[in-house]
């Protein structure tokens, strides 16, 4: 059984403060972050190593808040990318060394959690406590991967800004689509996630 360290407890407490409550996803996310950072050789993600780290997350659930809390990576800093796979997984990239590791939560960890705290009738309480002490190998597996991060996806000032020929809105960082010699935004080409209720009042 893994020993709960002071570092882990401190990181978990900080993450719970950001997230708002303790849950299995918070524990798993903190453990995943510690595991992934160790695999790529990043020791101080919010300090000396902050410019080395890039993170891809594959799920928009509780664990993602924990990953952000521990690593310091975020969408706003452009050091985190959300890839909507719906998987409890994240890829940690050391930009300096080029080493990248994808860490995946094991599905059977939920069942194994019962072996650690069989007296806990509430499965979420059981998972919270078990995930704190289960060995890394029972919680995760990892894959060494290669990730190509394009210049327009890196932190820093926008590399480009163009105006959509259809709606007139600006598009940054080469997210535009060129069609028949015109620059168009993706929402004009592929459709919006929202519906305009009164276009006359919107501009």
Question: What's the pLDDT tens digit per position in 65-91?
Answer: 999 999 999 999 999 999 999 999 999
Above 90 in pLDDT, residue 197?
A: no
Those residues whose C-beta lies under 8 Å from the C-beta of residue 158, and which sit 6 or more positions away, are 172, 173
Angle among Cα 98, 68, 33 to the nearest 5 degrees reads 60
Mean pLDDT value of segment 190-200: 83
Q: Could you tell me if 120 and 25 lie in one domain?
A: yes
In angstroms, how far is the first alpha carbon of the chain from the final one? Answer: 60
Residues 20 and 109 in one domain: yes
Residue 109 maps to which CATH number?
3.30.1330.130
Percent of the chain scored above 70 by pLDDT? 95
Query: Does residue 104 fall inside a structural domain?
Result: yes
46 and 73 share one domain = yes
Answer whether residue 169 is part of any domain. Answer: yes
Question: What is residue 196's DSSP assignment?
Answer: -
What is the model's pLDDT at position 2? 47
Structural domain boundaries, residue 172: 161-201
Q: Which structure tokens are listed for 130?
A: 């078990």
Q: Is residue 10 included in any domain, yes or no?
A: yes
| 41 and 66 share one domain | yes
**What would the pLDDT profile of 33-58 be if each residue is shown by its tens digit?**
999 999 999 999 999 999 999 999 99
Overall domain count for the chain: 2
The confidence score (pLDDT) of residue 182 equals: 95
CB atoms < 10 A from the CB of 38, how many? Answer: 13
Same-domain status, 119 and 23: yes
Q: Are 120 and 131 a contacting pair, CB within 8 Å?
A: no
Confidence of residue 121 (pLDDT cuts 50, 70, 90): confident
Question: Do the domain assignments include residue 115?
Answer: yes
Nearest partner of 16 among 6, 2, 3, 30, judged by Cα: 30
Angstrom CA distances, 198 to 58, 90, 189, 201, 203, stand at: 35, 40, 20, 6, 10
Q: Which of 112, 132, 151 is the last residue of a domain?
A: 151
Q: What is the mean pLDDT of the chain?
A: 92
User: Is residue 156 in some structural domain?
Assistant: no
CA distance 19 to 110: 21
Residues 66 and 121 in one domain: yes
Query: Is residue 203 pLDDT above 90, yes or no?
Result: no
């Amino acid at each position: 059984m893994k020993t709960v360290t002071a570092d882990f407890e401190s990181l978990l407490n900080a993450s719970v403060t950001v997230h708002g409550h303790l849950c299995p996803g918070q524990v798993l996310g903190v453990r995943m972050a510690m595991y992934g950072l160790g695999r790529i050789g990043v020791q101080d993600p919010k300090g000396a190593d902050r410019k080395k780290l890039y993170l891809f997350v594959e799920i928009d659930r509780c664990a993602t808040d924990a990953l952000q809390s521990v690593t310091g990576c975020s969408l706003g800093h452009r050091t985190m990318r959300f890839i909507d796979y719906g998987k409890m997984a994240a890829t940690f990239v050391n930009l300096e060394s080029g080493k990248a590791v994808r860490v995946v939560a094991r599905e059977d960890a939920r069942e194994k959690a019962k072996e650690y705290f069989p007296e806990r009738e509430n499965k979420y309480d059981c998972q919270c406590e078990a995930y704190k002490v289960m060995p890394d190998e029972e919680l995760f597996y990892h894959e060494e991967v290669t990730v190509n991060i394009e210049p327009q996806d890196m932190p820093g000032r926008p590399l480009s800004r163009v105006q959509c020929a259809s709606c007139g809105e600006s598009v940054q960082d080469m997210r535009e689509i060129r069609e028949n010699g015109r620059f168009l935004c993706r929402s004009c080409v592929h459709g919006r996630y929202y519906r305009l209720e009164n276009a006359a009042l919107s501009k």
